[in-house]
Structure 1
């Protein structure tokens, strides 16, 4: 089923080649999640991305990665095209553009310290869980478990192993917990049940849980960015696949769930895009904005 020419509920077959509106959609801001959305399952940048970003820049369209990843990690990944891009990092707790902070929502240090102590108790009881205390300057961990550190390095380019992650002098944006079992159903999330009454406790991946202030999420970050840029929800195109993307989908009229998305995300989005492994983000952008077929990533 082709895309509709205006935003609205779509029950498209994501495997079908999507159609286009009669004219290029009036889109001024494009926001995409990273893992499971823009990147394929091997965490690779899709073919055609740099050409697409150059074309978007020529049209005055701002592109923004929105991720649980660290700002420093995102800037490195997009080094070829970072000028003018906006970065929604740490699941919305930190928004940067051209090296300038636009918004941040730091955690109370006492809350971060409490989560660290909780994880220490879980580890002492035999649970395979790790904590990453995510500051503006770096991510801090206490564990020297190489399997855990390999996961940390993937998402946090600036990372440090410290003796006491709760005592570091930095502004802490969130605490991320890595559960070697299931993040959605495992012991780490259950241990945060009381904190979830006052803070944002969100499953951001198969093994990751992020803890932030109650108002910190990708959706609130996106709304702030829209105000900064003078862009409306009707001019905003968003892509997501997992539970930490839900609020972000609500902030855009052009909201797309990937074909591989969590069922809750597919239910929340207005439209469906091809899967991440099928270069769904770039294919959808090319069709909606009538970009040259070379930017289609095919």
Structure 2
């Protein structure tokens, strides 16, 4: 088999718009795994909401979570942190002040936990959709914990404005700000991305870059697609992601992951 490691984004790529993993895609992934190919989920999700998908695939192993900020190994014994790119809450204080003033919903994540200061029905539905149970605290700044991801959740037009203003003011300092979805902005350690995490995992597994295939759908997938020997974009990706890809497969609603694996790993 040409590709020994397949990296899969989850939302908008592996799962369809109803957040369902189809039987066709599941069977194809299980077949290449049984043939000796490593399967790694590379996602913006936390480990707790990634593990059920790994289990639904009938697999165990390494998950790249929080957009590369935390790599976690999962097996029958539980979950173990392999690597993290963390930063302090003090580094995001100017951004915390901004979102609190504007009433923009946010959460902060350690590798295994998520913390919020308030929640409404709109946010509850989002967390339920992603199988997340955040912890409600009075002030996240009092946690005194290193964190791996600071996420904003709001309507696209709100986040468009935030991106422009934070970029102009460099409000994120030495950290990295990415748009991980139409409704999400993530701020992370500058070294944290799916590409760096995937490269580290491939090195551990003694897999060369040209033996890696990565499939994604959004801008937070670009680094892992660039690292991989074959970077594939699903058809529902934004135009900029498609242009950066080596190949384009069917959309997430048309079993694009199945199509790509069947085409390139047969």
Give the counterpart of 1:178 among 153, 160, 163.
Answer: 153
TM-score, L = length of structure 2: 0.90
Partner in structure 2 of residue 149 of structure 1: 124
SS of aligned partner of 1:76: helix
- Give the structure 2 partner of residue 163 of structure 1: 138
Identify the residue that residue 134 of structure 1 maps to in structure 2.
109
- Residue 204 of structure 1 and its aligned partner are, at CA, apart by 0.6
Match of residue 220 from structure 1: 196
Equivalent position SS for 1:78: helix
TM-score (norm 1): 0.81
Any gaps of 5 or more consecutive residues in structure 1? Answer: 1-24, 124-128, 291-298
Structure-2 residue corresponding to 1:41: 17
Relative to structure 1, the CA distance from residue 67 to residue 269 in structure 2 (aligned partners, 3 Å threshold; closer, same or farther) is: same
Query: Which residue of structure 1 aligns with residue 82 of structure 2?
Result: 102
CA contact (8 A) 1:199 1:214 kept: yes
For 2:83 and 2:58, how far apart are their aligned partners in 1? 18
CA distance in 1, matches of 2:250, 2:183: 24
Equivalent pair of 2:15/2:21 in contact (CA under 8 Å): yes
For structure 2, the residue ranges without an aligned partner over 5 or more in a row are: none
Report the Cα distance in structure 2 between the residues aligned to 1:167 and 1:155, rounded to whole angstroms. 26
The C-alpha deviation readout for 1:46-92, integer Å capped at 9, x for no partner, is 22243233323322211111111111100022223464432111011
Closer, same or farther in 2 for the Cα pair 1:149/1:120, shift >3 Å? same
Larger-gyration structure (1/2): 1
For 2:102 and 2:158, the matched residues in 1 are separated by: 14
Contact 1:119 1:131 in 2 (8 A): yes
1:177-200 deviation line (CA, Å, top 9, x unaligned): 0122336523x3234321345221
The answer to whether the 8 Å contact 1:62/1:86 transfers is: no
- Equivalent of 1:122 in 102, 117, 123: 102
2:70–2:83 contact (8 Å) kept in structure 1 = yes
> Are positions 1:260 and 2:236 aligned together?
yes
Q: CA RMSD in A?
A: 1.9
